[in-house]
Structure 1
Amino acid sequence: MGQKIYKCRNCGRYTLEAICSKCGSDTFRPQPARFSPQDPYGKYRRIARREGNL
């Protein structure tokens, strides 16, 4: 399967389309970003998580 799965921002429905067929809202890819040992923004992400911004 070469296609990626998307998730609707409004209704939470999973689809293979860029626009949700149920509510017409835009969709996004729900998988997390890839891990990299040379993570240039890891420090800032950890600070934001501690402060409750994420």
Structure 2
Amino acid sequence: MGQKIYKCRNCGRYTLETVCQQCGLSTIRPQPAKFSPKDPYGKYRRLARKEGILCRK
């Protein structure tokens, strides 16, 4: 299977399409970004998440 799986932001369904067939909205990749110890913005992302600015879904 060479295709990537996507998840709908609205209804939560998984699909292989970039647009959800159920509700018609765009989909996202559910995998987290690759970890890199050289990430220049990781410090700021962790700080924002700690302060509640960024929320995980």
Using the size of structure 1 for normalisation, the TM-score is: 0.91
Please list every run of 5 or more consecutive structure 2 residues that lacks an aligned counterpart in the other structure.
none
Aligned residue pair count: 54
Quote the offset at 1:11 in angstroms: 0.6
> 2: distance between equivalents of 1:20 and 1:51?
32
The superposition leaves residues 15-50 of structure 1 with CA deviations (integer Å, 9 ceiling, x where unpaired) of 000111111111110110000010111110111011
> 1: distance between equivalents of 2:53 and 2:25?
25
Q: Secondary structure at the match of 2:31?
A: coil
Q: What residue is the counterpart of 2:44 in the other structure? A: 44
> 2: distance between equivalents of 1:41 and 1:52?
17
CA RMSD of aligned residues (A): 0.8
> 2: distance between equivalents of 1:50 and 1:25?
30
Using the size of structure 2 for normalisation, the TM-score is: 0.87
**Counterpart check, 1:29 vs 2:2:** no
Please list every run of 5 or more consecutive structure 1 residues that lacks an aligned counterpart in the other structure.
none
The one-letter code matched in structure 2 to 1:13 is R
Q: Deviating runs (4+, > 2 A) in structure 1?
A: none
